[in-house]
Every structure is written in structure tokens, then in C-alpha cells.
Amino acid sequence: MTDRELMRHAVAVIAYRGGKPVRGAPTSFASYEAGPGGNTPLVIVAHLGDLMDWALTHVKGDPKWVGVTGKSWDEQVARFFASLAALDAYLGSDQPIRCDLKRLLAGPIADAINHIGQLMMLRRMSGSAVYGESYFAADIVTGRVGMEQSPPVKPF
């Protein structure tokens, strides 16, 4: 597996794991507040889209941050998956990668996985838990970066 293929698989992992806390979330989840000073799930999902957009600007060689705010939950969730798809499409193309992939992994990719963990925790705290599974055994497919994913592999 090349570094490029591994990075595409990392994007598929984000799609698989990222779909769990947003799929079937109750309407109230978007604005759930765990306590003062924390971000709502809506803010976190918007940030996930920002991270994937930022990652794409890096691989294209023109890094820039553009934060998006003020949209609805459904719009931000759709944007997150559209941003994942755009990044995956570029990585899957023959276009040159113009950044250090190790930095991309350490930056926006790892940050996204961290924030997905926050969403999972917030789902549980909000009373709408999404249960874990064996991600080692999960059917995560490189290139499958949309909201629809394989059914979860039940816990160990």
C-alpha cells in the first residue's frame, strides 16, 4: 500500500467512524451542551468539515483555513461528507500531492478522529448513546466516504 492509498483509507476511516454519531441523531443533539465553555455537536461537525476542506487545500498546495458557521445540522453533516468525498477524490486521482502526508495525518486527519470521539461521547451524555464496536473487524472500505456505511460489527 502506498502512502497515498493509506491516506485514502484514513479518510474512509473518518467517514465510517464519523457517520456513527451523526446518523440517527435526535434533533436536539445538534445544540446539546455538556457544560459551560464546551462546543455543541453542531460546532464540532462544522469544524470537521473545515478540517477536511483545509486538508484538501494542503494536498493541492495552497493551504488556507476557511471556517464555516451558521448552518443547520443537516447542512453541516452533508458538508462534512462532501468535504470527505472531495478530499478522497483528489487523493484517488493522479494529481500531485503538494504537502507532507505525515503532517496531514498528524494535523487534520488525527484532529478529525479526535472530534469524532467527542461526538460519540456527547451522544452518550445527551441520552442518545451510540455503542462502540470492533473497528478492527469493521468493514471500512477505501473510497467509501459517504454517510452510508456497512452495518456495525457488534462489540467484542
C-alpha cell at 155: 462489540
Domain assignment present for residue 35? The answer is no
Closest CA to 58 of 96, 15, 94, 92: 96
Q: What is the pLDDT of residues 36-59, one digit of tens each?
A: 989 999 999 999 999 999 999 999
Cα-flanking dihedrals φ and ψ of residue 74, to 5°?
-60, -40
Give me the number of domains the chain comprises.
1
Domain assignment present for residue 135? The answer is no
Tell me if 16 sits within 8 A of 134, measured CB to CB: no
Q: Is the predicted pLDDT of residue 156 greater than 70, yes or no?
A: no
Query: What percentage of the chain's residues is helix, strand, coil (to nearest 5)?
Result: 55, 0, 45
Taking the whole predicted model, whether its pTM rises above 0.85 is answered as yes
Domain assignment present for residue 34? The answer is no
Domain assignment present for residue 151? The answer is no
d(CA 122, CA 21): 9
List the domain range (segments joined by +) for residue 57. Answer: 3-24+41-125
Q: Is the predicted pLDDT of residue 155 greater than 80, yes or no?
A: no
**Mean pLDDT (whole number) for 64-83:** 94
Q: What is the pLDDT of residues 110-152, one digit of tens each?
A: 999 999 999 999 999 999 999 889 999 999 999 999 999 999 8
Radius of gyration of the chain (CA): 15
Domain assignment present for residue 152? The answer is no
pLDDT of residue 118: 97
C-alpha cell at 133: 464496536
